[in-house]
Homo-oligomer: A and B are copies of this chain.
Amino acid sequence: MQYPPAEPGMREEDVETPALVLDLDAFEHNLDTMAGALIPTGVRLRAHAKTHKSAVVANAQILRGAIGQCVQKVGEAEILAWGGVRNILVSNEVVGPKKLARLMALSRIADVAVCVDDEAQIVAAEAAAEAAGRRLTVLVEIDVGAGRCGVTPGPEAVALATRIADSPHLIFGGLQAYHGSAQHIRDPEARVAAIASASEDSRRTVEQLRQRGLDCPIVGGAGTGTFALEAGSGVYTEIQAGSYAFMDADYARNASPPPFRHALFVLATVMSRAVPGVAVVDAGHKAIPTDSGYPLVWERPGLAYVGASDEHGKITIGDGAAPALGEKLRLVPGHCDPTVDRFDWYVGVRKGRVECLWPIGARGMMA
């Protein structure tokens, strides 16, 4: 585990780098903004822990009205449940008897649910639940446009739901209908069209299930890029946004960016000024993954992060004050989720001072 990079009371510029800095004012603003946006819709927030990987953040979201959390991995569910989170949906398929056994063990301290998109997964879930002597809630994932996981909406989904409902140790929990790729569509009209289609797929499937006597307590999906659309659809009951708590550079590039502030930064130190026109910082792509583009340099016009190697970030110096050797810069990650997963600690900062350190307990929990 990484050393704690700071102590409460310290000035931000004294934090050891690279460090993951959470601006607490912006973070709380984001939680309040999402809660406020959802109240008039009546749709619940089940925030996604794949972004934050921390029971501390999960509990802050729940304190502000989130009904629980989503995760992608059993290991993430464990960290949350051990940290007091009581309502967890694995918004993903879980394949393998050991992982299912861990999920059943966890069901003794939290309400857990899982998704399927194949009959074999239902058979395995039933066996795991029976072996544990418990019942497990199972959702059917439908493919509403991402082309990744999920069965075709309609009769295929109804067949799986019926199979779940007919399994003595399983409870049919509803539909998982997440359109991941729509989150990052730059054109607002195309985003609207994608979610309209996803909502119609979901609505049709819900209706067909109802005709078979099967209710959908959960119709879940949506991320930070589209949540208002799903929330207004009349069919989704739960919003699974994660990035809204932090915001990243990629979401900010959308033509109509969501109303959240940048709250998450990688603090980096200028470690070389030897090459003219270049500042090198100690955060390369091991610290700030570049799968959604390079980070932005925060509130330093003229500085552009233009290249990442494993341990070095290359910043070009345009007009304006050049950074000094040893100076610390805030970088806005291109993509929050993999960036958070590189750190063991959030350094919570308010008005330039370190207020708290929070462990990122689910960092690296991929199994």
Binding site for B on A (CB under 8 A): 1-3, 5, 16-19, 50, 72-73, 75, 92-96, 98-99, 117-118, 120-121, 141, 143, 147-151, 180, 269-275, 278, 280, 282-283, 285-287, 289-291, 308-312, 314, 325-326, 337-338, 341-344, 363-367
Contact = CB atoms under 8 A, between A and B. Distances in A.
Contact of A16 (B92, B99, B286, B314): B99
Contacts of A93: 271-272
Contacts of A270: 95
Contacts of A363: 364
A114 to B, nearest CB: 12
B282 A289 contact: no
A1 B3 contact: no
A18 B364 contact: no
Given A96-B326, A367-B3, A341 B149 contact: no
Nearest to A94: B271
A72 B310 contact: yes
Given A16-B96, A326-B120, A149 B271 contact: yes
Contact of A18 (B5, B16, B367): B367
Q: Copy number of this protein in the oligomer?
A: 2
A11 to B, nearest CB: 14
Given A95-B326, A149-B280, A325-B120, A72 B311 contact: yes
A149 B312 contact: yes
Name the prevailing secondary structure of the A interface residues. Answer: loop
B150 A269 contact: no
A147 B275 contact: yes
Contacts of A96: 16-17, 269, 326
Most B Cβ at <10 Å: residue of A17, A148, A283: A148
Given A282-B95, A310-B338, A5 B149 contact: no
User: Lowest 5 A-B CB distances belong to which pairs?
Assistant: A117-B274, A149-B272, A72-B311, A95-B271, A151-B274
Most B Cβ at <10 Å: residue of A274, A341, A364, A365: A274
Contacts of A283: 366
Contacts of A75: 2-3
Nearest to A95: B271
A327 B302 CA distance: 50
Contacts of A308: 291
Contact of A367 (B17, B280, B337): B17
Contacts of A291: 285, 289-291, 308
Nearest to A19: B367
A55 to B, nearest CB: 16
Contacts of A17: 96, 367
A50 to B, nearest CB: 6
A337 to B, nearest CB: 5
